[in-house]
Structure 1
Amino acid sequence: MTDMIDLSVATRRMDRVLDGIGDEHLLAATPCTEATVGMLVDHVLGLTLAFTAAASKDFEGLTDTPPTLPTGELPGGWNDVATARLSALADAWRDPDAWAGTTRAGGIDLPGEIAGLVALDELVVHGWDLAVATRQPYACEPDEIAACLAFAGTVSDEQRTEGALFGPAVSVPGDAPALHRLLGLTGRDPSWAPPG
C-alpha cells in the first residue's frame, strides 16, 4: 500500500486559491482550454464530494457516475461550500481504511491508494490551473509533487485524451522544476499565462 498522504496541505492551499477568486474571474480562460475559471471551480466542488465518498467507500451515486463537463453554475456562497467540502475531503483521507482495499470514483473501481493519489493530483494540478488563471502565486510541497509525478508517470499515452484526467503530455525539459514536469505530464503548458 502507498504510504498515506495528508491531503490537508493540498486542501488548505486550494481553499486559499479559491478565496482569491472573485465574480470577475469566473468567465476567464484557464490552461484547460475547454473550461473557464467558473467551470473549474464547479469541477472542484464536485470532485470534493466524489472523492470524500470514495474515501468512505460510499457507493451510493456520487462514485458511480463518470465526471461530466462542469457548467460553471455555482451555488450561492460557493466559497463557504468549498471550504466545508475541502475540509471534509481531507478528514476522510486521514482514515487508513480509505487507502486500503478497493473503492470507486467516476464509475471506475480502483484501489483506495490510487484514488487517494488521484484526489491529490486533482487538488495540486487544478490548484495551479486556477491560481495561474487568476494571477495568484502557487507553490506545492516537494512530497506532494513527487507523489503526483509517480502517479502521472504510470498513465499510458493511450489513456491521455482531451477531456480525460490527463490530456496528451506536453514536452517539458528534464531539468525543469518538478511542478513543471508534473504539469507537462498532465497535458499542461507550464508557461501558460492568462491573456491580456
Structure 2
Amino acid sequence: MTFVPRAGPPSRTGPATRGLRMPDIPDLGPATRGVAALLAGVDDDDLGSPTPCDYDVATLLDHLDVLALAFTLAARKSDDPSLDTPPAPSANNLAEGWRDRIPQRLKDLAEAWATPEAWTGTTIAGGVTMPSDVAGVVALDEVVLHGWDLARATGQSYEVDPDALAVVHAFVEETARPDQADMREGLFGPPIRLPEEAPLLDRVVALAGRSPSWPR
C-alpha cells in the first residue's frame, strides 16, 4: 500500500474526518509507539520475508521510514523537497541505522500531528495536495495498517489503541464505497466485508483488502 492516492483523497466531509474538532483530534502517539515496539522484534533474517501488503519486510520498513518523514513534514506545512513524490518503496533504499531512525521518525510524526495547527488548512504529502485533516487520518491509517502487516510478517502480537482504530475504521469504510473505487487503486486492495461481530481490527484490515487470516 502506498500513501499517494492516484485519484486524490476522499472528501474531507466523509466519515473519516467528519466531526473532528479541536482539541478532539486523533492521537497518533499510541499507534506510532506500537509500531516502534514491533521494530525491536524484527530480526535480520526477517527482512526478506513476505508481508500481507505484497512488500517484503525490508521494503515495508523503507516505506514506513519514508512515510513517517513525509507526513511529519506535511503536518508542519513544510516546503521541503522531500514532500515531492518519493521513489517506490524498495529494500535497496533501506539505509543503515533504520532500527534507530524509524522509531525516532515515528515519534516525530506523532508529535507533529499533536498540534491543532497541523490539522488545519491544506498540505502536501507524497506530492499530493490535500486537506490537512485528511492527511492526518491517512498518516494514522498507514501506521496502523502497516503495523499489522509488520506484526503478521514477523510473528508478533499486535494491539491497536481503540480510539485510533475507530478513526481508521471510519476511513477504510469510507474508501470501500463503490464511488471511491478509483481512489482505492494503488492504496488498498478490493475490500472484504466481514460480519459485524468480527473483531474491529480484522474488519479494518479486510476493508483495506487484506486477509485477516494471512498467510492462509
TM-score by length of 1: 0.92
**Match for residue 53 of structure 2?**
32
Letter in 2 for 1:159: M
Residue by residue, what CA displacement relative to the aligned partner does 1:53-86 show, whole Å, maximum 9, x if unpaired? 0000012222231x54211132222110112111
Moved over 3 A (4+): none
**Partner secondary structure for residue 109 of structure 1:** strand
Q: Superposed, which structure 2 residues align to 1:184-195 within 5 Å?
A: 184-193=206-215
Higher relative contact order (CA 8 A, sep 6+): 2
State the number of aligned residues.
190
CA distance in 1: counterparts of 2:102 and 2:189, whole angstroms = 25
Q: Superposed, which structure 2 residues align to 1:67-106 within 5 Å?
A: 67-73=86-92, 74-106=94-126
**Match for residue 116 of structure 1?**
136
Shift of 1:134: 0.4
**Match for residue 169 of structure 1?**
191
**Partner secondary structure for residue 11 of structure 1:** helix
**Partner secondary structure for residue 188 of structure 1:** coil
2:27–2:164 CA contact under 8 A, matched in 1: no
Residue by residue, what CA displacement relative to the aligned partner does 1:11-70 show, whole Å, maximum 9, x if unpaired? 11010011110110000011012x1011000000000110000000012222231x5421
Match of 1:62 among 70, 82, 96: 82
Stretches of structure 1 that go unaligned for 5 or more consecutive residues are none
CA distance in 2: counterparts of 1:45 and 1:53, whole angstroms = 13
Q: Which moved more, 1:68-77 or 1:9-18?
A: 68-77
Letter in 1 for 2:188: F
Q: Superposed, which structure 2 residues align to 1:177-188 within 5 Å?
A: 177-188=199-210
CA distance in 1: counterparts of 2:73 and 2:115, whole angstroms = 13
Q: Which moved more, 1:129-138 or 1:104-113?
A: 104-113
2:32–2:107 CA contact under 8 A, matched in 1: yes
**Match for residue 159 of structure 2?**
139
State percent identity of aligned pairs: 46
2:71–2:135 CA contact under 8 A, matched in 1: yes
1:159 aligns with 2:183: yes
2:29–2:110 CA contact under 8 A, matched in 1: yes
TM-score by length of 2: 0.83
Give the root-mean-square deviation of aligned CA atoms. 1.4
